Amino acid sequence: MSRLILLTGASGYVGGRLLPMLEEAGHRVRCLARHPEYLAPRVSTRTELVRGDVLDADSLAAALAGVDTAFYLVHSMGSASSFVEEDRRGALNFGAAARAAGVRRIIYLGGLGEDQGDLSDHLRSRHEVGDLLRRSGVQVIELRASIVIGSGSLSFEMVRSLTEHLPVMVMPRWVRVLSQPISIQDLLAYLGRSIDLEIEGNPVIEIGGAEQVSYRDLMVEYARQRGLRRLMIPVPVLTPRLSSLWLGLVTPLYARVGRKLIESIVHPTVVRDDSARRLFDIEPQGVSTAIAAALRNEDQEFAATHWFDALSSSGAPASAYGGVRMRGRLVDTRELTVPVPPEDAFEPIRNIGGQNGWYSCNFLWRLRGWLDLLIGGVGLRRGRPRNRDLRAGDSLDFWRVEAYEPAHRLRLRAEMKVPGRAWLELAVEPVEGGSRIRQTAVFDPNGLAGLLYWYGIYPLHALVFRGMIQALARRAVT
């Protein structure tokens, strides 16, 4: 029988990505969660969920029973109370329960930074947690990492938000401190291979990417890959407290989390011990590759979601235009129900574009095509394929067909000149008494210019999108 692995922090960023990797590798996995009902939709049928909390010592015995290896991916940086004390108590509880249960190994993810000197409370607490787990008597492998680059990670989202939203940025001193960012893919590889790593004692292993860079370097590379021009002005001040409030205005970070993060950033977080290279057969990615992978993976994750959920989850009516944000993109979803089967409801979608036009405000579509030609774009001159259905890869006016499923879905990617990236998806699904037509426009703005473009033509968007869904519904029943 394979080893049983306990995963804590499965609802967090790293744990949430480690979980499917462990499942795909065939491991028996048990997840400890305060609210297992929230985690249930994300786990396979083979994965066990146990309710518990590292701050509740009595809840840990059942979770650790029969466990061979435990991942400790818990921290309390977002807590409004003393996160240092909570982290200390959680580590003591977990270490004691792991020893009582006969756990073979604990794998703990900590943070890079020299133990000497004036460390931030966050980094000092990360190191203390590792020490407390080791005192339990259970073997501990502590991996210490710096910035994690991956779509959705705290540091990457900070870099993205600052670079996307601020054409001119002041660069306080902490932005120039060196770190050694690691891609989420490499971090997961280190964690996964630590399960069977043949090693004695309780090693502290420093892991990082191929380069030592600053947050400024990350912003410059992110801007390069996104095609953004940014002016960066160095300044000698802007304390962590002021910086955290500044971050709270322009990024998704809470001010208190931003402050704790920046207090850690002011210390270099680079690899000073090359033991990871000797112990693991892993060649870490560089910053450029890691950022490209983050953007690419984000596109794949976003494409796999149902875009219309952005409106429904926000509580806004499905027919309302509001530029709802979803993973940095702006989403407009509209839907109507028609009393015909999906094949009939999809018919006008199947024939859209080219000589047939776009069913609503065709003069505006032609104007947009003319303007696109004027600035060097493709315009509407390509039309649509003749005498056959669309296929993935076809050109359709100034769109490219990304996906085509007869009687169900057409997804288009814009190839006109826009300050960002745009998609249009038209889908049909059966409902009681007929079919639902759903129309979704998505825009990934390229910095401030993209936001100004989207919101600047709001009246035209509202007119075109509203008229288009209504025309599709009318044609479906005639």
- 472: domain CATH number is 3.30.530.20
Same domain for 160 and 24? yes
Over residues 291-337, the pLDDT tens digits come to 999 888 877 766 555 544 444 444 444 444 445 555 567 888 889 99
**CB-CB contact of 342 with 435 (8 Å):** yes
Q: Which residue has the higher pLDDT, 249 or 375?
A: 375
pLDDT bucket at 279, cuts 50 / 70 / 90: very high
Element at 20 (helix H, strand E): helix 13-24
CB-based contacts of 384-391 (< 8 A; 24+ apart in sequence): 384/353, 384/354, 384/355, 384/356, 389/350, 390/350
| Domain shared by 191 and 55, yes or no | yes
Q: What is the dihedral of CA 12, 18, 20, 21, to 10 degrees?
A: 170
What confidence tier does 348 reach under pLDDT thresholds 50, 70, 90? very high
b/e code 148-185 from CB counts within 10 Å (16+ = b)? bbbbbbbbbbbbbbbbbebeebebbebbebebbbbbbb
Q: Verify that 310 and 212 share a domain, yes or no.
A: no
Strand partners, 395: 400
Cβ atoms of residues 310 and 326 within 8 Å: yes
Distances (CA, A) of 473 to 389, 401, 410: 20, 22, 16
Q: Is the pLDDT of residue 369 over 80?
A: yes
What is the rounded average pLDDT for all residues in the chain?
85
Angle between helices 240-250 and 154-165 (to 10 degrees): 70
- Asked if 11 and 138 sit in the same domain, the reply is yes
Q: Degrees (nearest 5) of the Cα angle 256, 260, 266?
A: 140
pLDDT tier for residue 205 given thresholds of 50, 70 and 90 = very high
Q: Greater confidence, 41 or 357?
A: 357
Whether 273 and 313 map to the same domain: the answer is no
Q: Which residue has the higher pLDDT, 90 or 78?
A: 90
Domain end point (choices 301, 316, 331): 301
Distance of CA 404 to the CA centre of its chain: 26
Say if residue 289 is in the same domain as residue 315. Answer: no
Shared domain for 178 and 292, answered yes or no, is yes
**Does residue 435 carry a pLDDT above 50?**
yes
| Shared-domain flag, residues 271 and 197 | yes
pLDDT in tens, 400-430: 998 898 999 999 999 999 888 899 999 998 8
Cβ(287)–Cβ(224) below 8 Å: no
Predicted local confidence at residue 54, as pLDDT: 94
In terms of domains, do 259 and 393 share one?
no
Same structural domain, 252 and 333: no
State which of 244, 272, 301 marks the end of a domain: 301
DSSP state of 116: S
Residue numbers of the domain that contains 148: 4-301
Are residues 194 and 104 part of one domain?
yes
User: Quick check: 257 pLDDT over 60?
Assistant: no
Last residue of a domain, one of 267, 301, 335: 301
Name the phi and psi angles at 435, rounded to 5. Answer: -140, 155
Question: What is the count of structural domains for the chain?
Answer: 2
Average pLDDT of span 157-175: 79
Alpha helices in 46-201 (DSSP H): 60-64, 83-101, 121-135, 154-165, 184-193
Output helix, strand, coil percentages for the chain, rounded to the nearest 5: 45, 20, 35
The CATH number of whichever domain residue 216 belongs to comes to: 3.40.50.720
> Are 317 and 276 in a shared domain?
no
Between 214 and 314, name the one with better pLDDT: 214
